[in-house]
Structure 1
Amino acid sequence: MSSSPAKSPLTAILGASLAAIGASVCCVLPLVLVLLGISGAWIANLTALDAWRPWFSAATLACLGWAYWSLYGPSSRCRADGECVDPSVLRRRRRWLWIATVVIALLLLFPYYIPWFL
């Protein structure tokens, strides 16, 4: 059995992470900048990105769906040419996908749960 991957979800996970950051930049970035001691009137301009949040959220969910399909779909274990993934590698990739999903969910839901803390 070969240990080379049948499909790598890395591109999908990175795309989902970047889209989640884009979806939460209107809310997370100003808070992080203020916590770092960086302030200014220009920080208020970051809220203009709030209109893009639904698009970034949709891109995040699409990329996560792609990552889950590549790791749990019918061709996740073996390719058409017969080359298969080592089960321990597949298990490790699935674990990292679930960890990334939790972090991405926290970023996507940030605008909804942060008022509880403020």
Structure 2
Amino acid sequence: MSQKETSLPLIGGFIAAVGAGICCAGPLILLMLGVSGSWIGSLTFFEPYRPIFILFVILLLGFAGWKVYRPVEDCNPGDACAVPQVRKRRQYIFWLTVLFAIVLVTSNYWVVLLA
């Protein structure tokens, strides 16, 4: 299995997390960059799609976690998943991505505390 195939669920989960958090974290980021105006409060285009993005986050990161933590016996001897250093690096990247996704998905709860 190629590097690109094993990265797709992780990349997809990250993009879905950005989509889920853009409705709430987007205006905060604009304010932090110095962009202001009453129109920022109307940036709610993605709000109706938020549950769909969250579902994609859970599904894609769950699939990525399954691929990252699958038993070594399931890997072919020449595959990258059979190399311990590569497995550890992928697990580290996976958990960083999960942490970032949690921050973005839960942003509508904590952003109001910062604004």
Q: How does the TM-score come out when normalised to structure 2?
A: 0.82
Given the alignment of the two structures, is residue 69 of structure 1 paired with residue 66 of structure 2, yes or no?
yes
1:92 aligns with 2:105: no
- Tell me, yes or no, if structure 1 residue 39 matches structure 2 residue 36: yes
Cα distance change, pair 37–76 in 1 and its aligned pair in 2 (3 A):
farther
Aligned pair count reads 113
User: Offset at 1:104?
Assistant: 1.1
Q: Which has the higher helix share?
A: 2
1:59 lines up with 2:56 in the alignment: yes
Per the TM alignment, residue 117 of structure 1 is displaced from its structure 2 partner at its CA by 3.4
Does 1:113 pair with 2:105? no
- Is contact 2:20–2:105 with CA below 8 Å preserved after alignment? yes
Which runs of no fewer than 5 residues in structure 1 stay unpaired? none
- Partners of 2:28 and 2:111 within 8 A in 1: no
Shift of 1:40: 3.6
Please tell me whether the aligned partners of residues 71 and 90 of structure 1 are also in contact (alpha carbons under 8 angstroms). yes
How far the C-alpha of 1:86 sits from its partner, in A, is 0.9
Please give the root-mean-square deviation of Cα atoms over the aligned residues, in Å.
Answer: 2.5
Could you tell me how far apart the structure 2 residues matched to 1:29 and 1:10 are?
26
* Aligned residues of 2:25 and 2:111 also touching (Cα < 8 A): no
Which ranges of structure 2 fall in alignment gaps of 5 or more residues? none
* 1:54-85 C-alpha deviation (Å, 9 max, x unpaired): 00011111110111011112467513xx4342
The answer to whether residue 11 in structure 2 is matched with residue 17 in structure 1 is no
2:78 is paired with a residue of what secondary structure?
coil
| Percent pairwise identity | 32
